[in-house]
Amino acid sequence: MPEVVERDDESEIIGTMGEAHEEELESMAKHESKEDRIFQKFKTKISLEPEQILRYGRGIAPLWISGENIPKEKDIPDCPCGAKRLFEFQVMPQLLNYLKADRLGRSVDWGVLAIFTCAESCKLGIGYTEEFVWKQDITDAA
């Protein structure tokens, strides 16, 4: 049976492949991180409509591109009326292609822009209330 030896910041498997059980080898080959699973879910979902630039889903969870920088409930401020905010829609990174953002002369980039709106759909004053946007950047998941 191979033995895993850990040294500071690396792991090494000691032994021969003949000593490993087939299930263990398959498990090692299929090992993927949480980050990989989140990005794979994102890619699979958007492959159904690769040109979509908006995803609407009031009250559902956003489709995150990365496991990094996912907001907690406390990170989303309440609406000025005092109600909680809910996820309503997201702007997808595909919009950058249509904006030709790389021609703007400055960096404009995002993984997901998640827009959170008032759970009570309030209208303070002139009819519209400012929404809250959470920007999730693309990490090394590419």
Asked if residue 60 has pLDDT above 90, the reply is yes
pLDDT, mean of residues 60-66: 91
pLDDT for the residue 55: 92
Asked if residue 138 has pLDDT above 90, the reply is no
Asked, for residue 5, whether it belongs to a domain, the answer is no
Asked, for residue 62, whether it belongs to a domain, the answer is yes
The residue ranking higher by pLDDT, 52 or 105, is: 52
Of the listed ranges 9-18, 65-74, 94-103, 125-134, the one predicted with least confidence: 9-18
Most distant CA pair in the chain: distance in Å?
Answer: 73
Number of domains in the chain: 1
Asked if residue 5 has pLDDT above 70, the reply is no
Domain that holds residue 73: 15-136
pTM for this model (two decimals):
0.68
Asked, for residue 54, whether it belongs to a domain, the answer is yes
Asked if residue 106 has pLDDT above 80, the reply is no
Asked, for residue 119, whether it belongs to a domain, the answer is yes
